[in-house]
Amino acid sequence: MALFRITDRTPLAPEEAWRRLTAWERHAAQVPFTRMVFGTDPPTRQGTRFVARTRLGRIGFDDPMEVVVWRPPEHCRLEKSGRVVTGWAEIDVRPLPGGGPGAYVIWTEDLRLRGLPRFCDPLLAAAGRVVFGRAMRALLKEG
């Protein structure tokens, strides 16, 4: 289990931070060689399904996900059920203490790659923090 957490503070209002972080179609632009394929129609809700397809030449894998908890604009949980990638991810958006402008964002993920030995989990968690931290910050900056 490669469990990691990424936190950030944004000047965006919580509702806007939530909108940007849960615009699943925009996630692919932040992960190289990846595109999103949707199995359910918008809007996002509990039961929404989509697949992040990552491919470089002949090598690739699918990362199918389902929204299993949907409580906008505060919390969502995704379950990953692929043959290669499994685990879960949660996105939490909270107002700043004291009611000031902006929001506090927490992205928590348990990322597993089938066949990868457990002793590799710290490396996978570190890579996840880098990749998903970069994606989270980019999504919050985009309009």
Instruction: Identify the H or E element spanning 18.
Output: helix 14-21
CA–chain centroid gap for 57, Å, is 24
Question: pTM, whole model, 2 decimals?
Answer: 0.92
CA nearest 119: which of 1, 11, 37? Answer: 1
State the Cα–Cα distance between residues 122 and 8, nearest whole angstrom. 21
Tokens of 84: 């290669």
Per-residue pLDDT tens digits for 83-131: 999 999 999 999 998 888 899 999 999 999 999 999 999 999 999 999 9
Q: Which residue has the tokens 């996105």?
A: 91
Per-residue pLDDT tens digits for 4-51: 999 999 999 999 999 999 999 999 888 888 999 999 998 999 999 999
Q: Confidence class of residue 142 from pLDDT cuts 50, 70 and 90?
A: confident
State the Cα–Cα distance between residues 12 and 19, nearest whole angstrom. 10
Helix pair 14-21, 121-141: axis angle to 10 deg? 120
pLDDT value for 88: 98
Question: Are the C-beta atoms of residues 10 and 17 closer than 8 Å to each other?
Answer: yes
pLDDT value for 143: 61
Q: Which residues contact 99 (CB under 8 A, 6 or more apart)?
A: none
